[in-house]
Structure 1
């Protein structure tokens, strides 16, 4: 029996890999995302220059052999700042998505299992949170606790909770109507056990795709919050702060804005293509259509 299961899993992985190699969106997305992640990881152990060191004599240098992407108005190396900024942006977005999954998925599954009054309360609460976008939430949180990356994570994470709650609820409701779920209930299994053993394994694919999409939106949200001064604070580096500092230097040093802008575009594009590719690969209906 165990050997049969292992063979089935191996065959499933081979089929996924074969389909993945044929999916252009997935390949481009995973290459771009992998490149950005590699830069972020490398920044933990090495950057060409220290991003906290100011060298006024090198300020506003155009890209050259010493500074491959040029320097900013404080003489800091932009390549090093982009590398560190990738690390900080990914960390904020990843933690915010983690908050959304950790709280939103259980709430959505709970609502799908209980239905009725509890489900209605959860959905109306989600509507209320949707009425306060991440930026507005960050403004309110910042007014109380002050601007910081932590508060940006909380603000973006709060906005992600109803997103994952709705996705998990919608997918779980579909699974609850299946015959094997009815059989599980007839055998005496409770809602928690059914959710753990049957619901979550069957909605994981949908959650992975949604998580990828929310990750890309989290990158954008973090950049936007940092741009207006509500996210990552100096001396930490953020792509959004780099754009904010570059807006008055466009005429004399356009590379200051172009480089972090390209970094954001590449990251978001890669994650969106990866999410689109995963949706094609993991959705059985789309596989049949193809």
Structure 2
């Protein structure tokens, strides 16, 4: 990383460089000085997002009510690293969580307000669902086979009848409206909190234009009860979008649970918690 910066951006070569505390899966991330970050895609699929982010984030940033990353420079493949990479301005904050959020209802309202503003941006020419974002914004059917395999693998560890019912209802709730902008990975690690309030939304690698239901999954992965209701009310989504959002949350939790059973107890427990949230909310709404 030091060699890449020194060769391609010598004006920043003397700035201190250090890994961030939690780098994530899609990119390896570093602090560059005090005001910048460097992101290196970890595989060719993730590198597909680099050009997209440089093209669209400067357009999206002034149109949303929270800060989002703004690219400062795009690096070229070099020094044995085979992909384009990015330098961004650094955004301060802690990942969203029960221990960092002051008021979960206010947080949910702020997040929904951000997503409403994002969806109101002109989608003309925006990136449609594809490999660059793992088909976020497209139909859930693309993950049907994977979900069915996870259900089979989990067997009696989950209540299969209601799980399959929720999944089938999500598949049937098709999207037939005008495409809109979506983030694609509205997860706690991509939501930054300062002084207890939502301050920034990061990591737009899965963003695009299409069905925004994938952004609704946070209603089950982080929110619950009154905060979930506040989120839904501010977002003002139709029942079909809510059902598909529930399906996105269920798909990810099932797949994670099945993969983590023998390798990652913490991930398995969290995935099962999300499944239980989905089941409880669905039963209460019936």
Provide the TM-score with structure 2 as the length reference: 0.27
Q: Which has the higher helix share?
A: 1
**Greater RCO between the two (CA within 8 Å, min separation 6)?**
1
Larger radius of gyration: 1
Provide the TM-score with structure 1 as the length reference: 0.27
